[in-house]
Chains A and B, each alone.
Chain A
Amino acid sequence: DTGVSQNPRHKITKRGQNVTFRCDPISEHNRLYWYRQTLGQGPEFLTYFQNEAQLEKSRLLSDRFSAERPKGSFSTLEIQRTEQGDSAMYLCASSPTSGANVLTFGAGSRLTVL
């Protein structure tokens, strides 16, 4: 069990550029979540997958954001035409479908939009 892995850990980009973050969950976990954390705030739910199906999306996830989990393993979160307000820590978490019902979080990917 290597935990939840997120890459890149840090990304600095210019406004208007596209960025993509990757999350590799714990291998036996079926559920995968994306959260966003801005400075001084707690994480906010963005979306989650069960296997490859995206089951829920927050209203925070504007049409510039897209998340995929094509084979039910790793997931990507893409932000198109980034804005300064997108600067945040993007956290990924995974959990089994049953059992402990506990989210294991990755260390996050910090995005800075200049």
Chain B
Amino acid sequence: AQSVTQPDIHITVSEGASLELRCNYSYGATPYLFWYVQSPGQGLQLLLKYFSGDTLVQGIKGFEAEFKRSQSSFNLRKPSVHWSDAAEYFCAVGITDSWGKLQFGAGTQVVVTP
């Protein structure tokens, strides 16, 4: 069965510092991969997605993610974090014949300190 693991439940980062959130998946083929962000009281917002092609994908709000097939990973990065990036981040996997049925990781809560 497919699974998505976000090893870090909680990350604290200083404003201006870099951020990396880890995501590992288990699936027999290359799935569709997504990162979503959820702020309190708000729905999930798509940051970026990977379907195929270039393994380094750019998203909104200055985020990028790199797909590494050999490591079954899709880690999210941002070079310089802003206070407004404090939120919960979810990695998600979609299988290719039913991509809208996503499997989400448990999420990583990001706290940004001054």
B7 to chain A, nearest CB (A): 14
What residue in chain A is nearest B36 (Cβ atoms)? A105
Q: Are A43 and B43 closer than 8 Å at their CB atoms?
A: no
Q: Return the contact of B44 from the options A43, A45, A56 (Cβ within 8 A).
A: A43
- Chain A residue numbers with a CB within 8 Å of B103 are 45
- Chain B residue numbers with a CB within 8 Å of A105 are 36, 43-45
Q: Return the contact of B32 from the options A4, A31, A101 (Cβ within 8 A).
A: A101
Complex alpha-carbon distance, A48 and B101, angstroms: 8
Encode contact with A along B30-58: 1 for CB under 8 Å, 0 otherwise. 00100010000111111001010000000
What residue in chain B is nearest A107 (Cβ atoms)? B43
Q: Return the contact of B100 from the options A4, A31, A40, A44 (Cβ within 8 A).
A: A31
From B32, B44, B99, residue with most partner A Cβ within 10 Å? B44
Q: Are A103 and B43 closer than 8 Å at their CB atoms?
A: no
Instruction: State whether A45 and B51 are in contact (beta carbons under 8 Å apart), knowing that A107-B43, A108-B43 are contacts in the complex.
Output: no
B21 to chain A, nearest CB (A): 13
Some 10 contacts from A to B, beta carbons below 8 A apart, are: A33-B101, A42-B90, A45-B101, A56-B98, A56-B101, A91-B43, A93-B44, A93-B100, A101-B51, A103-B102
List residues of chain B with CB under 8 Å of any chain A CB: 4, 32, 36, 41-46, 49, 51, 90, 92, 98-107
